[in-house]
Structure 1
Amino acid sequence: MRFLSLTVLGLLFLSSCSKDETVSNGDSVTDAKQKMRDFVIGISQYSKGINPKFNIIPQNGIELVSSTGESSGAPDTAYLNAIDGNGQEDLFYGYDNDNQETPATTVNYLKSFLAISKNAGKKILVTDYCSTPSKMTTSYADNHAAGYVSFAASQRELNTIPNVPSTIYQENNAVVSAMEQVKNFLYLINPDNFTTKTAFINAITATNYDLLIMDLYFHDGSEFTATEIDQLKNKANGGKRLVISYLSIGEAENYRYYWQPSWKPNNPTWIDAENPDWPGNYKVKYWTPEWQTIIYGNENSYLKKIINAHFDGAYLDIIDAFEFYE
């Protein structure tokens, strides 16, 4: 979510590498793709060990579903077994510019990997960035035809509940308790347009989305409590929804609770360059124990806070950070 999720398509093809290839990054040598797979698998094992129904959904970096990082490669079974779906941004709209069709070559490239995940029984959640009503309608129709569940986001900041179309695509009054039941979703991780948590909760519970992707924290820095997350699971029509927490694992964010005032690139050594498109977000050597301990595996970890707050899963972002290290 923090930047256009993929590099130029030609560079993607050039950067695809097998598990035998390595990259150098100063003080270590690592297979960037496999290190990210291992990170996600560890997150999954930890969270499902606490709650077997907890959902793990990586966003972007779809090449990881292939053992070679290429669409012709065999499915990476260990990785696919660890996840419950894949999120993909910009599939039909927004790859080069918001509200602009994604080039057909890019669509086909991404779909070739999404097919590996879908064929493995995983839910595909697509976020297209388009604001023209006709394009939003087309986005929903194209994704549905491909067998994906989608959200047409009118703002890349993901800070609004769209009023187009006037009804939720594939709206239903079902009790949704598992990913395979999800027919639509709302991606709203920036609550700045809501003055209070109560206003946010009231706005969400007035909708009938099957799944909500949101942040653990409100814009005032306070965590949503388990009681508040339980409230958000209620749809207006009497059904139930899943509530999933956003979690960036490929970048460190200087507005999060874990950030230390002295931190900057190379201090500590696992923090790398600032993302020029999203100030305050820094690439991290995500395979380092220090970073992974922040994310999961202990009572003080970010993931444990998400689990304690009664979220139904985690939406893992900046999975495609491996591109930076290739």
Structure 2
Amino acid sequence: MTASAWRKALATTTLAVTLAAAAPAVAQQQQQQPAMPEVTWPPPADAPPRKVEIIKVQDWRTRARDMVETLSEYVRARAPNATLLMRGGASLLFRTEKDQELADLAAPPGVAANRPEPEPIGTLQRQFARAIDGVVVDGLSCGFTPELSADQVKRLHGFGVKVLTIEACPTDEAAKAARESAAKLGVLAHVGGADSLGQIPGGRLAGANPQMVQALGEAKTILFNLDNRAYASKGDWLRALSETNHDVLVIEPFFRGDKALTPQEVYALKFKKVGTPRLVLARLPMTTAYDTAWYWKATWKVGNPSFIKDVGERPGAFVVDYTNTEWRSLVGQTFSGLMDLGFDGIMLDGMDAVARMDDEAVN
């Protein structure tokens, strides 16, 4: 399916409207806290009136949670057995000092004494955790600063949220250690080198599971293939995927960014090489726009439309304001379209941008 055909198929959906409407609703709930100047009392008789600067604080964390929860409500109503993953943004699952700071800023002046005791830092955000089936963490073992501690992994598993990891390990020894650590923690791991997300491994799969897999909790192996540019044709790419025996595939659903898979192609991938069923999930970028995507227009650039904020890390990628109503509508249309293709679920990608937005808001 070409980009133009995909665009025609995705007329405004109920999900797109819901996501777009939710953005201003959340924004209206956010209150502004005045910055209090230093005051001497009583003021001099001839003192000019003081100007109080109003500081607008953007609550990126609440807006991100709201967006994920809206998508979750949609998918639960449409396909109760579908799997919803979130890549990055693991800190959204726990109360942080940033959450406390934002709550303090949003509180009306003079009500601090009457406010209930806040939840302790580190408390699991249960309502948000219920919205997803799993969280994907990059570098739980081979990363510099893991997003989750072993204790947090244990708590998430106890609550029913599966932890998955993508490990880009520099050496075979590090990869072996990452597999052992994942097995000990009960984490579903994709382990490879720096470019493993663009490669589909051949040969015998270590730890291959010949049984059917119909739920994330049954999976023992997983393959993330989020970049298919190494393949000369869509057919070559699909043949390579069909030769795998992983229990779960998480893939980029567009070949080279603009050729969507068909329902028949998605269905064919739902069977391992040995013939038993598996899960196939689609990647959906939440915080990055691509100039090859079905929605992209030739006139678009940074600042036009307003949700395109900056160039991304690779050519053709652009950082977006994920709270913007127009962008949320595009996300909703894409989400609905991917479900129409028959995917078993969606991975919401790029949620690590929430932390960067927070840092920029403060600095």
Same fold (TM over 0.5): yes
Distance 1:108 1:45, change over 3 A: closer
Are 1:89 and 1:128, in contact at CA under 8 Å, matched by a contact in 2?
yes
Distance 1:199 1:69, change over 3 A: farther
- In the TM superposition, residue 322 of structure 1 has moved relative to its aligned partner by 1.5
User: Could you tell me how far 1:112 is from its partner in structure 2?
Assistant: 4.7
Aligned to 2:84: 56
Matched, 1:155 2:194: yes
Question: 138, 151, 173: which is aligned to 1:89?
Answer: 138
- Give RMSD over aligned pairs: 2.6
Does residue 80 in structure 1 map to residue 129 in structure 2? Answer: yes
Q: Tell me whether 1:121 sits opposite 2:121 in the alignment.
A: no
Once the two structures are superposed, residues 28-82 of structure 1 have per-residue CA deviations (whole angstroms, 9 ceiling, x without a partner) of 7431111101111111112222211121100011000013368942211121111
Provide the residue aligned with 2:291 in structure 1: 254
Q: 1:30 aligns with which of 58, 64, 88?
A: 58
Q: Which residue of 1 aligns with 2:13?
A: none
CA distance in 2, matches of 1:241, 1:217: 20
Unaligned runs of 5+ in 2: 1-28, 34-54, 99-119, 359-363
1:228 matches 2:255: no
When Rg is computed on C-alpha atoms for both structures, the one with the higher figure is 2
Structure 2 CA distance for aligned equivalents of residues 82 and 108 of structure 1: 19
**Pairing partner for 1:42 from 56, 62, 70:** 70
Q: Name stretches of at least 5 consecutive residues in structure 1 with no aligned partner.
A: 1-18, 96-101
Structure 1: which amino acid aligns with 2:322?
Y
Equivalent of 2:324 in 266, 271, 288: 288
Q: Is the 8 A contact 2:85 2:134 kept in 1?
A: yes
Question: Identity rate of aligned residues, in percent?
Answer: 24
Structure scoring higher RCO (CA < 8 A, sep ≥ 6) equals 2
Distance in structure 2 (CA, Å) of the matches to 1:313 and 1:41: 15
Paired with 1:107 and 1:251, the residues of 2 have a C-alpha distance of: 23
User: In structure 2, which of residues 321, 325, 335 is the aligned counterpart of residue 303 of structure 1?
Assistant: 335
Closer, same or farther in 2 for the Cα pair 1:270/1:74, shift >3 Å? same
Larger proportion of helix: 2
The secondary structure found in structure 1 opposite 2:71 is helix
Q: Deviations over 1:226-257 (max 9, x none)?
A: 10011001112222110011111012222211
Give the drift of 1:220: 7.0
Deviation at 1:109, TM superposition (A): 5.1
Three-state SS of the structure 1 residue aligned to 2:273 is coil
Count residues in correspondence.
288
